[in-house]
Structure 1
Amino acid sequence: MEIIEKSFVRYLAAEKGFATNTIDAYERDVKQFTQYIHSEKKELKTIRHTDITQYIQYISKPGIAPATLSRKISSLRNFFKFLIEEMVMEEDPMVVIEPPQIVRRLPSVLDVEEVERILYQPDIDSPLGLRDRAALELLYACGLRISELLSLKIENIDFNEGFLICYGKGEKERVIPIGNCAIDFLTRYIARVRGTLERGQSDGILFLSKRGKRISRMGFWKRFREYTSKAGISKRVTPHTFRHSFATHLLEGGADLRVVQTLLGHNDISTTQIYTHITKEYLKKVITEFHPRGKRSTVAMR
């Protein structure tokens, strides 16, 4: 079983081109499933859709998020597709399994003033503060995922043209313009700080830790949380909130939805369309607050 699981992981990377985080999650999901069928004294090649249904009921404990359950089912769908391609199985037990319905929640966003309050928190007179300011400016300016930001190398930045190249989910390449503010702080960070942080082999990583290595997701998250706290932001904010805010602010400013889709690296336009709902709520709020007849009147309609 372990050999099959390892082969599946290689398949996800080589054939499907999935991101590392996705592969790790799928690997955990499949391992959970194989442990379950082992405890039930069943073999892979004998699994039928009724067994899958029973397993889904088994893992559908109170509190499990619909998105998590959906991912676990997706993991199995890919796993059994792989098994059929490798001729380990003849029939796919997942064919009749329906994915759970997910109510897509609107992502949390910051308004422009809130973003700026966070951006102004790092002490740019200190080396790490200047580094963090440059990282935050770039995160917001380009709508990057945190993994994309921390994976950037100096060679990915074209300072003359004002563009960067990043590699998103499935190593999909996209080219994104960089705003002047982000370029300014990046230039200052590289000129004054990065060289002092470098310790031998940095592999060209743009944003370095005190030890001269790539900053960890948790390390960046901790500093980000400090800055949001200092900025007096009470709602739950993560680095990914900057990405949501980037998309929302572009649409509020009149950007075309297809352009925003390209900048975010979304394969499906429906993924980007969720931000139009946020924009509609914002527009409704503007009308309610500022239009002379936008507020609910206590006077009876005539």
Structure 2
Amino acid sequence: MEQIKDFENWLTRLGYAESTIKGYVRLLTNFFNYLNQRKASQKEIENFIKDLHQTKLSRQSIQGHLNVINRYSAFLELTTKEKLTVGKIIVEREIKTERTIFTQEEIQQLFSSIDGHGPSDLMDKAVLSLYYGCGLRSKEGIHLEPKEIDFNKGLIYVKPCKNYQSRYVPMSVKVMRDLKEYQDFSRAVINPNSKYLLVGKQKDKSTGSYLNQRLKNLQKKAGISKKASLHSLRHSIATHLLQQGMELEYIGDFLGHKRLDSTQIYTHILEEWKNIENG
């Protein structure tokens, strides 16, 4: 196709890598095949992107098609003084529902499986309370420092990191009790010199793999065979709050989501649960 060949030559002159050019040509060819000689109007472009959303293509792949169309439009404008009217097209976020969620009964079973009061038991309770009771991300809990927990106000200050903003997370009475007992009677025994709340015997702070293994051990004691991780506890509290009627906006604030559509995944999860329960 002549238009695609001209576009390919233009990219070559601009110094694009051969692999990049091949990828651009492949995606643009998909668009031209969709058009089937129809004019590339804004409506056609919008319908093309909508059709891609109906396939199993990833969000990145769909965005790649849109980027190539924009690049092709720039090529047309420079070489023929024409351009495509693309408009503002938003590529939808992928809805990933293959998330492990603990039921509220299973959460109770996890807590009940901790039947002792030693340093290790108190740490397990603290881990469950932080990641389920406060909905923290894995790294947020790992990097949490004791000074960032205000027991008087019942708040945890979560530091900002590369992709996430800082926020304050409220603590329930149970969460405060679990964290206070761990801090006073467990952390002081395991590694009192660490600046972090969750510590390891050999390291200044815990690691994700170490804490995930502790969760796995609790699951085994509780008889829960789901393949889960710390993030499953975060997903679980979000889903349970939605079940209890909390507004999505407030759940998003609690979790530290920048965008509401990040929180909306839990409506899909909840809908799947209802479908399963209804047979």
Partner Cα separation in structure 1 for residue 154 and residue 274 of structure 2: 32
Which of the numbers 169, 192, 197 marks the counterpart of 1:206? 197
Partner Cα separation in structure 1 for residue 25 and residue 131 of structure 2: 43
User: Aligned pair in 2 of structure 1 residues 126, 110: CA closer, same or farther (>3 Å)?
Assistant: same
- In structure 1, what residue type is equivalent to 2:97? R
Q: Deviations over 1:232-261 (max 9, x none)?
A: 112222111111111010011110110001
Partner Cα separation in structure 1 for residue 269 and residue 150 of structure 2: 32
Query: How do 1:1-302 residues align onto structure 2 when only pairs under 5 Å count?
Result: 45-47=15-17, 49-53=20-24, 70=60, 102=94, 104-167=96-159, 170-198=163-191, 200=193, 202=194, 204-211=195-202, 213-283=204-274, 288=278
The residue matched to 1:164 in structure 2 has which SS?
strand
Radius of gyration: which is bigger?
A: 2
Q: Deviations over 1:180-199 (max 9, x none)?
A: 11110111111112122225
- In structure 1, what residue type is equivalent to 2:21? T
Partner Cα separation in structure 2 for residue 205 and residue 215 of structure 1: 8
Partner Cα separation in structure 1 for residue 132 and residue 234 of structure 2: 6
The residue matched to 1:46 in structure 2 has which SS?
coil
- In structure 2, what residue type is equivalent to 1:138? L
- In structure 2, what residue type is equivalent to 1:50? I
Partner Cα separation in structure 1 for residue 100 and residue 124 of structure 2: 22
- In structure 1, what residue type is equivalent to 2:96? R
**Quick check: 47-56 or 104-113, which moved more?**
47-56
Partner Cα separation in structure 2 for residue 118 and residue 52 of structure 1: 48
Q: CA deviation at 1:100?
A: 11
Partner Cα separation in structure 2 for residue 256 and residue 264 of structure 1: 13
Partner Cα separation in structure 1 for residue 25 and residue 219 of structure 2: 44
Q: CA deviation at 1:51?
A: 3.8
The residue matched to 2:227 in structure 1 has which SS?
coil
Q: Give TM-score scaled by structure 1 length.
A: 0.61
**Quick check: 178-187 or 123-132, which moved more?**
123-132
- In structure 2, what residue type is equivalent to 1:191? D
- Number of aligned positions between the proteins: 214
Counterpart position of 2:73: none
Q: Give TM-score scaled by structure 2 length.
A: 0.66
Check whether the contact 1:157–1:165 (CA below 8 A) recurs between aligned residues. yes
Q: CA deviation at 1:167?
A: 2.9
User: Aligned pair in 2 of structure 1 residues 256, 103: CA closer, same or farther (>3 Å)?
Assistant: closer
Partner Cα separation in structure 1 for residue 91 and residue 220 of structure 2: 38
Q: Structure 2: any 5+ residue segments left out of the alignment?
A: 1-11, 28-55, 68-85
Q: CA deviation at 1:223?
A: 1.4
Partner Cα separation in structure 1 for residue 253 and residue 93 of structure 2: 27
Q: Deviations over 1:240-297 (max 9, x none)?
A: 11111110100111101100011111122111111112223445566x4xxxxxx8xx
- In structure 1, what residue type is equivalent to 2:107? V
Percent of aligned positions that are identical: 28
Partner Cα separation in structure 1 for residue 93 and residue 155 of structure 2: 39
Q: CA deviation at 1:115?
A: 0.9
Q: CA deviation at 1:54?
A: 7.9
Q: Structure 1: any 5+ residue segments left out of the alignment?
A: 1-41, 57-64, 78-95, 289-294, 296-302
The residue matched to 2:156 in structure 1 has which SS?
strand
Check whether the contact 1:199–1:212 (CA below 8 A) recurs between aligned residues. no
Partner Cα separation in structure 2 for residue 212 and residue 165 of structure 1: 23
- In structure 1, what residue type is equivalent to 2:250? V
Counterpart position of 1:33: none
Check whether the contact 2:114–2:121 (CA below 8 A) recurs between aligned residues. yes
Aligned-pair RMSD on alpha carbons?
3.3
